[in-house]
Structures are given as C-alpha cells and as structure tokens.
A and B are shown apart, each in its own frame.
Chain A
Amino acid sequence: MPVIIFTEHSEEKIKKSSLEAISYGVALAGKLNTDAIAFVVGPTAATLSELGDFGIKKVVHANDSSIVTSDTKSMAAIIAQAVEAYQADIVVFSNTLTAKGVAPRLSVRMKAGLVTGAVALPDLTDGFSVRKTVFSGKAFADIQILSAKKIISLNQNAFEIIKSTGKAEVIPFTAANIPNSIKIKKINRVAGEISLAEADKVVSAGRGLKGPENWGMVEELAKLLGAATACSRPVADSNWRPHHEHVGQTGLSIAPDLYIAIGISGAIQHLAGVNRSKTIVVINKDPEAPFFKSADYGIVGDAFEVVPKIIEAVKQLKK
C-alpha cells in the first residue's frame, strides 16, 4: 500500500517544492513500512532515475506530451489511474497552484480525506492526524483524516529536503481515456524571476519606499542574496509592483528562511502571509512600527540610507 508523491517539474528539472514533497513522502512511507513512488506526468528533461538521491526507488512516468497538465479533470483522472494501478493508500502533493486544482478532485475520486497546507508529518499515535496552517498562518490545526485513503498537500518550505543515495527505477505509465475539458489559448511567462512561493529568501518592501522608481535597491539586494522580491498590498494595488508579488492575508502566503521587510508597517493582514518565515528582518524608520514585534532582527532607520549600506556589506561578504 505505497505512498504516491505527485512530482512536478518545470521545463528542465524537478521542482524544489516537489523534492520537499518527495522527502515527506519517503519519510511517511518509512513510518508506515511501505514504499514511496514518485509519479511524474508529461515529458521532462530531468533524469528521473536521479530521484534515487532523495530516497525514491520507483518513479512512475506518464510520458505523454498530449496530456494537458492545466486541465484539473485530466490530471485527477491520470493520478487516480496510477493510484489504482499501484494500490496506493496515500497521495502526497506539494501545495502548489497545480495541486490546489487537482488534489481536491482526487480526494473526491478516491474518497480520501484531504489536508491542504500540511506543515509536518502525520501523528499516528491516535489515528492519523496532520498539522496544517489555518487562519492565514496565525495558527495551526491538527486535522484527523477519517477515511482509509488519504491525501496530504504539503506547504512549500515546510519540510526539509532529505538527501539519500541510490538510483530509482523508472517505469513508464500509460494513462487511458483521459478527458480534456479545456483549451489553452495562450501562456505569458515572466522569465528569469525566482518563484516567490518556492524562494528560500525574500526581500520585500512597502509604501515606505514612496514610489516604484525606488525599487532598484530592493532588486539589487534581492539579486545579491539570490532572493525573490515581494511587496505589501497597497504597493501592488497602486501598481508600483506586479500583483503576483503581493504577500499577506489576501495575497501569497510564504514561509522562506529569510524575509527582509523594508518600509512595511507590519499590519496584521501583512503578517498573516509572512509570519511563518524562519528569520524576519525589519527595516523601518518608525521605532513603533508593529512589525518589530514579529521580527528577529531590526534596524530603526531610513531605508534609503540603510539598504545601500546593507548592499555594500553583502558585497564585501561575497568577496
């Protein structure tokens, strides 16, 4: 009764968030004394046997370029077939944009209780309960899954990637009678940016920066640190920055290792989306800014003076 991990890839490689899901799935399978199988859909340039480096012994690959991976109906149908073929009891997803469309559909198909936004391995001492974020990151809930089959969608940056050694066997999988319910007209991609949801470092700025013309130093610091850029809601609302950078209760909820907030007051709705970050740095000229209460490190000062100095110091460090 193996654990299947739905494994996503970008053009060339397996996504970092899926490696987290794989590490989670492998650990869970270990706890349950069963196997972990990575399930991959669509052609990819990634060498799938290398998933052995993360403890996977078997990769099942539906290598069919005709599958419309954006179609939640097709994807749920394909995964359900793999679940059936391998008699899996548990399916693990990373809680990505794709998973949000597919995991609940699969939950209905399999009659499997679903926990989205999981942050830890299940507690098996009394049934099967999974901790997840609720109240937009302000609390956690332990959700008991009552059904025999189970689906867990793991939050990004919530579980450490665990390295192992070995080679995985790659088994082709042919899905049958896949419905296609949508027609893709066009795709616009903003190339070259670090995905905010997956980023382990984020540099974020707010209305304190006064205007879009002042974002150069934010971008420079982000680039130096290998970080993604984010912003507060009013900044996105005023079109100073693109909407997908908006974090908080009504934007993206993130949990990077490092979150640097520049000129952001730290309103409760902003904190809701970022307070799971492991280390929070706040730069704000107002010592009373609420954000300092949720920060690990803070500098009370003018961003226009402090940030360039930080950039210099990071450059020095890199030398």
Chain B
Amino acid sequence: MKILVCISRTPDTTAKIAFTDNNTKFATDGVQWIINPYDEWYALVRAIELKEKDASIGIHLITIGGAETEPIIRKALALGGDEAIRVNSTEEDPYFIANQIAVVAKEGAYDLILTGKETIDHNGSSIGAMVAELLDTPFISLATKLDIEPTQAVVTREIEGGEEEAEINFPLVLSCQKGMAEARIPNMRGIMAARTKPLAVKEPLASEKLTSTKAFVLPPAKSGVKLIPAETPELLVQLLREEAKVI
C-alpha cells in the first residue's frame, strides 16, 4: 500500500493579512509559515496512524512550491512521512498544480492520495477532486473517517445534516477534515530522522493554466461596536429588529 499525501505551505493562522505590489501579492514580511492545518492534522496524521498499524505502508509527500517550502516539508517528514517530492514551481493555478500531482501519482502508482479539505489561504477545496478526475479514480470530499481493507477503503464523509459511509476500491483520492485523526507534534527522534529522509526535487511539467489572480481586496473594517447596557438587553432586540432588520 502506497499513500501520497499532498502538503501545502500556508501562513500561520494568526498571520497578518496584507498585500503589496498594488494589492497583487501577499505581504510575506514577518509571516510564519506552517503546514496547511488540514493537510497536517488530518491527511498526514491519518496516513501515519495507518502506517503504525501496518508497517508495510509507504507514505510519500508531495508539495508544489519553491525551495522556501522545504522547511515545512522537513517538518512533515519529522511527523512521519518516508520521503518527499517537491515540484519546483510557484504557480498557483489549481489545474496546473493538480496536473503536477497527477503525473507524480501516476508514476508512483499510489493506492491512496490524501489532501486536506482546503488550504487556509486559497480556500479552493479543488485540488483533490481535480487530481481524481485526471487519474479517473473515485474521489470523496470532506472525509471524516478512513479505514483500509485489503482491496477497498471504508470512508465516512460529511453530508448536509449528517454523515455517509461508503466503500470504495483503490486507487482513490480523499480530502480530509476533522475527525480523521488525533493531532500530534513531531518528537526529537522524528526531527533528527527527517534531516536525512529523501527529498527529491522535480521540475514541473508543462501544463495549461486556467486561472490567475488579478488582485486582492481587504474587507471593509467594521464601523465600531454599539454597546448596549447589560441591564437592558431588550434594547438589543429592538435594534436588531428596527436598525439591523435581521429579526
């Protein structure tokens, strides 16, 4: 069983969101970078949990990014991946990225490809399903549970107002969210081991781009809070009806 986990580098959740170059670029000054939480907490850690039960499972990681993404790849390896591939491109179009992953996935004949449910910067939620379509495999979005049997996976996913359990043959692609795994932090042994784990760098394949980012916009700031005395909450209810017109 071979698992490919897609890893993305994102700004830390507390990073200040600002833009430069006429609002066309994210201002990276002083930004801490992390593994996209969904990729780490759910996709990668679930793969590691599965490997702990069955040591024959191989976990490979893939990132599309420049050399600046290597620290987070090492961190992911410290958590538990076996080896990693970085496709050397800073391109951001999801179709382009999915094509790079699909090529590697095909060459490596992976049984299972895991992504996080979305990245916390692009909020695209589209790479996993695109990869699945390129590979012509099944895809389950927003999976909350994953178990593997010899020829198939048993996957639970969120549906509106509940959940659904399905059986799917390998190979398949899953996007992972909360419920999948218990969060963990890398230990010293993992960090040491990660230094020497293989990290291959590949040049991207030529692929079309279907989108590009024109500009960023910050939402308008709130004009300020209207405080209502705690003794007269009925005033709040009145304002919600007459001023905000929401109840």
Instruction: Please indicate whether A and B come from the same complex rather than being unrelated chains.
Output: yes
* Interface membership of B205, Cβ < 8 A: no
State A195–B160 Cα separation when bound (angstroms).
7
Q: Looking at the complex, which one of B13, B175, B208, B247 makes contact with A111 (CB distance below 8 Å)? A: B208
- B228 engages A193 (CB within 8 Å): no
Among B133, B211, B227, contact of A298 (Cβ-Cβ < 8 Å): B227
Bound CA–CA A295/B136 (angstroms): 46
Binds A, one of B55-63, B65-73, B161-169, B192-200: B161-169
Question: Are B217 and A131 touching (Cβ within 8 A)?
Answer: yes
How many A-B pairs have beta carbons closer than 8 Å: the answer is 276
CB-based contact A275/B219 at 8 Å: yes
CB closest chain-B residue, reference A8:
B160
Tell me which residues across on chain B come within 8 A of A183, comparing CB atoms.
Answer: 166-168
Q: Does B37 contact A (CB under 8 A)?
A: yes
Taking a contact as CB atoms closer than 8 A, the residue among B11, B94, B127, B132 that contacts A73 in the complex is: B132
Q: Which of A71, A186, A279 meets B165, CB within 8 Å?
A: A186
User: Given A116-B125, A182-B168, A251-B178, list of 11 further CB < 8 A pairs?
Assistant: A70-B164, A96-B160, A107-B95, A135-B120, A143-B213, A146-B209, A191-B161, A243-B144, A250-B41, A278-B246, A294-B222
* A115-B211, A246-B178, A310-B233 as given contacts; A139 in contact with B160, CB under 8 Å: no
Which interface residue of A71, A181, A183, A295 has the most chain B CB atoms within 10 A? Answer: A181
Binding site for A on B (CB under 8 A): 11, 13-14, 17, 19, 37-38, 41, 94-95, 98, 117, 120-130, 132-134, 136-142, 144, 154, 157-169, 175, 178-179, 208-219, 222, 225-230, 233-234, 236-241, 244, 246-247
Q: Give the Cβ gap from A298 to chain B, nearest Cβ, in Å.
A: 5
In the complex formed, the residue of B with least CB distance to A308 is B233
Q: How far is the CA of A113 from the CA of B214 in the complex (A)?
A: 14
Residues of B within 8 A of A138 (CB): 17, 218-219
Q: With a CB–CB cut-off of 8 A, which chain A residues contact B244? A: 258, 278-279, 296-297
CA distance A115 to B122 in the complex (A): 10
A301 within 8 A of B: yes
Is A235 located at the chain interface by the 8 A CB criterion? no
Residue interface bits A276-319, CB-to-B below 8 A is 1, else 0: 10111110000000001111111111100110011011101100
Q: Which residues of A contact B (CB under 8 A)?
A: 10, 70-73, 76, 96-97, 100-105, 107-109, 111-117, 129, 131-136, 138-147, 181-191, 193, 195, 197, 201, 225, 243-244, 246, 249-251, 253, 257-258, 268-269, 272, 275-276, 278-282, 292-302, 305-306, 309-310, 312-314, 316-317
* 24 A-B interface contacts by CB (under 8 A): A76-B133, A97-B141, A97-B158, A97-B159, A100-B141, A103-B129, A111-B210, A117-B124, A135-B123, A138-B218, A138-B219, A143-B213, A146-B211, A181-B169, A182-B167, A185-B167, A188-B162, A188-B164, A189-B159, A191-B161, A250-B120, A258-B244, A276-B219, A299-B229
